[in-house]
Amino acid sequence: MKITEDIKYVGVNDREVDLFEGQYIVPNGMAYNSYVILDEKIAVMDTVSQGFDKEWLEKIEAVLEGKSPDYLIVQHMEPDHSANIHLFAEKYPDAKIVASAKAFVMMKQFFGTDFSDRAVVVSDGDTLNLGTHTLSFYTAPMVHWPEVIMTYDQKNEVLFSADAFGKFGALDTEEDWACEARRYYIGIVGKYGAQVQTVLKKLSSLSIKTICPLHGPVLNENLGYYLNLYNIWSSYGVESEGVVIAYTSVYGNTKRAALLLAEKLKELGCPKVAVTDLARCDMAEAIEDAFRYGKMVLATTTYNGDIFPFMKTFIEGLTERNYQNRKVAFIENGSWAPMAEKVMRQLFEKSKNLEFAENNIKIFSSLTKENIEQISLLAEELMK
């Protein structure tokens, strides 16, 4: 794949992986992106995941046409991008390795060497001249590891963005970018919104025509769309108007309340109602929806003096990623001592800027006429 006349794609598609980072379902696989910048001096941008070394090195050889690279630029040390640094170093002994100081510490941890005899340490504002291309480096700590750098090619106005602007899915799959990019961002980077905001401010003065991430497609059209979504996600803003209803139910009564509320909201014209059974859903998608929409209803049972385990996992997934700036309502159920609302509120104690609904609902075993009326009141409140 040609990015520009002198920037080539040498990444790979992984169709064997089922769980990314051991937890995220990736039905359409993953792409591990790597690039080569051809100039008087040649730079390879990152490596690929373990098991794809032969394919990756063959692609580099094909692009080089008998030449040797001068630099390997390591933007991120997560093994899906760094696994083949040592093989590259063996194959090209004269090539220097460019990375942040913290990245070289991690290389020592992963490979038993920090390549000190060929290391080039870069930080914010440092540049590397390849001939007609001048590369500028920008540190991006905790987006989403502490050693991350991004690289800007001044000639072609290309931003090599490390894991930022990445998505789940191999490149031979046609699918909507935003859905899998949102799930990727919220799941993996979501905790670090403040750090993403800092990087976006660093990059705001650059003229960017193309974004080359380490996962997902190269972005070269309508970049304002992608940048705007990243700004919304990293500032914990509301992307879409709507209500998420996340529930767990043992004997169906809590589920009935959740579905009745969904019906009432639709009757009132709610633009989107996303209903999720937390015991059966992809938890990452449920968390993604909670961050996408501005209002959320949590419906669950009291369970062993606590709340149902899937609900607890869900809330912990939200608070771990700094869930904030939303309205939250509760539906609790219990046959003798309902306390789910109390437990759920406590789990949000450290969350910022949450507004809790006034018309929360307490069910004793099964829905009553009064509960149905309360559900109508809650729907009306959520639509205000």
Q: Where in the chain are the domains?
A: 2-234, 240-383
The arithmetic mean of pLDDT across residues 241-268, rounded, is 97
Q: Is the pLDDT of residue 253 over 90?
A: yes
What pLDDT, on a 0 to 100 scale, did the predictor assign at position 192?
97
| pTM given for the model | 0.93
Give the Cβ contact number of residue 282 at 10 Å. Answer: 13
Angle between helices 309-320 and 340-347 (to 10 degrees): 20
Nearest of 109, 158, 160, 153 to residue 132 by alpha carbon: 153
Angle between helices 283-292 and 309-320 (to 10 degrees): 50
Give the CATH superfamily of 240-383. Answer: Flavodoxin domain (3.40.50.360)
- CB burial string 49-83: b at 16+ within 10 A, e below: beebbeebbebbeebbeeeebbbbbbbbbbebbbb
Cα 15 from Cα 296, distance rounded (Å): 35
What pLDDT, on a 0 to 100 scale, did the predictor assign at position 191?
96
What pLDDT, on a 0 to 100 scale, did the predictor assign at position 56?
98
What pLDDT, on a 0 to 100 scale, did the predictor assign at position 238?
97
User: Per residue in 212-232, pLDDT tens?
Assistant: 999 999 999 999 999 999 999
pLDDT band, residue 177 (cuts 50/70/90): very high
What pLDDT, on a 0 to 100 scale, did the predictor assign at position 188?
95
User: Per residue in 349-359, pLDDT tens?
Assistant: 999 999 999 99
Q: Is the pLDDT of residue 337 over 90?
A: no
pLDDT band, residue 1 (cuts 50/70/90): confident
CATH dotted code for 2-234? 3.60.15.10
Mean pLDDT of the chain: 97
User: Per residue in 304-322, pLDDT tens?
Assistant: 989 999 999 999 999 999 9
What pLDDT, on a 0 to 100 scale, did the predictor assign at position 69?
98
Tokens of 30: 């993953």
User: Per residue in 43-71, pLDDT tens?
Assistant: 999 999 999 999 999 999 999 999 999 99
* Strands ordered across the beta sheet of 2-4: 2-4, 7-9, 35-37, 43-45, 71-73, 96-99, 119-121
User: Per residue in 76-134, pLDDT tens?
Assistant: 999 999 999 999 999 999 999 999 999 999 999 999 999 999 999 999 999 999 999 99
Cα 29 from Cα 170, distance rounded (Å): 5
Answer yes or no: same fold for 2-234 and 240-383: no
Burial class from Cβ neighbours inside 10 Å (0-12, 13-18, 19+) for residue 362 reads middle
What pLDDT, on a 0 to 100 scale, did the predictor assign at position 93?
97
Q: Is the pLDDT of residue 278 over 90?
A: yes
- Phi then psi for residue 25, to 5 deg, are -65, 130
